[in-house]
Amino acid sequence: MFLKHSDTGSQSHAHASRTAELMAVQRGLESCRRPGGRLFDDPYAPLFVSRSWRAALTAGRVRPIRRAIEAAYDRVAGPGPRASAIARTRLIDDLIEDLAPSVDQIVTLGAGYDTRPYRLKCLESRHVFEVDHPDTQQSKRAVMRSAAEERSRSVTFVPVDFETEDLSQAMLSSGFRTERSSLFLWEGVTQYLSEEAVDSTLAAIRRISRAEDFLIFTYVDRAVLSDGATAFPEAQRWIRGVQKRGEPWTFGLCPEGVRNFLSNRGFGLMRDMSTEEAGDRYFSPLRRADRGSRLYHVVLATRIDD
């Protein structure tokens, strides 16, 4: 089915915890910055990291320490992952804030450690469905209960074992209303899947969505899968890192072909922005040296009529 694992969560909590934790670390480091210099604030990110990382994030509130942690992270992981994760998070936050007034339901596929229902005010009056493997959800719900947040938002957890259960049927059984306008978020997942798995997910979304419903998803440039170091010099350590964690990238799209790819599957392209472009939008006005990568993209699409 659609989700093997993602960088926000996974079919297997134990398998995904490392990658998901690193995304939380990146959000936590960004949140350590002063209000005028950060792209977003995620006060829940430290709840999802190990004790040692939590101590580092606490220390990171002191500017020289935070900068040293970021520099060390970038030396190990490469210059792309942290900045791209930050830029992509802010870009998706902004897209959701723009679209939330025009939709009734938000569906987060492979929600993992995503905390948008709890930190974005625009979602306070929207029904959010978080779809993930039962093991991952159990862990996340325990964390949010400890923060006394689980019952403070209109969030429905939809546990799905993607190896054995049908996504569309699980959504309908959870109270999802096909007659209501919806936004689907599919972040940090596609690069770990086969094309068949991507196709099956898009087909499931079409089955339960209306015309003009929205889809936000991320992908990596297909060129990085064949010759990443040449096409994207910043990719060498990035690719080595995901391979070392046993989570190699297996799927990508050619940016020039995204429009046709979506059209052939019943969706219309509205926007495709790399995290490099997002970085120019968000980092440059703050005079920050962080730069996203051309290899990582965020897409906004809409479902079109049959």
Q: Mind listing the pLDDT tens digit of every residue in the chain (306 residues)?
A: 555 556 665 444 444 457 788 899 999 999 999 999 999 999 999 999 999 999 999 999 999 999 999 999 999 888 899 999 999 999 999 999 999 999 999 999 999 899 999 999 999 889 999 999 888 888 888 898 888 776 666 899 999 876 677 889 999 999 999 999 999 999 998 998 889 989 999 999 999 999 999 999 999 999 999 876 677 888 888 888 888 888 889 999 999 999 999 999 999 999 999 999 999 999 999 999 999 999 999 999 999 987
Q: Are 273 and 298 in contact (CB under 8 A)?
A: yes
Long-range contacts of 19-22 (CB under 8 A, 24+ apart): 19/242, 19/245, 19/247, 20/48, 20/112, 20/113, 21/48, 21/49, 21/50, 21/53, 21/113, 22/81
Residue with tokens 């910043």: 234
Q: Are 42 and 28 in contact (CB under 8 A)?
A: yes
- Tell me what percent of the chain is helix, strand and coil, each rounded to the nearest 5: 50, 15, 35
Q: Are 18 and 25 in contact (CB under 8 A)?
A: no
Can you name the residues that pair with 267 across neighbouring β-strands?
303
DSSP code string of 215-277: EEEEEEBTHHHHHHHHH-TTHHHHHHHHHHTT------B-GGGHHHHHHTTTEEEEEEEEHHH
Nearest of 55, 60, 57 to residue 25 by alpha carbon: 57
* pLDDT score at 3: 53
Q: Are 267 and 253 in contact (CB under 8 A)?
A: no
CA distances from 88 to 99, 129, 267, 273, 275 (A): 16, 21, 21, 9, 6
What's the start-to-end Cα distance of the chain, in Å?
23
Residue with tokens 């989700």: 3
Q: Select 13-303's CATH number: 1.10.1020.10, 3.40.190.10, 2.40.37.10, 3.40.50.150.
A: 3.40.50.150
Q: Are 162 and 170 in contact (CB under 8 A)?
A: no
- Please give the Cα distance from 273 to 168 (Å, whole number): 28
Nearest of 137, 140, 131 to residue 158 by alpha carbon: 131
Where along the chain do its domains lie?
Answer: 13-303
Q: Are 206 and 177 in contact (CB under 8 A)?
A: no
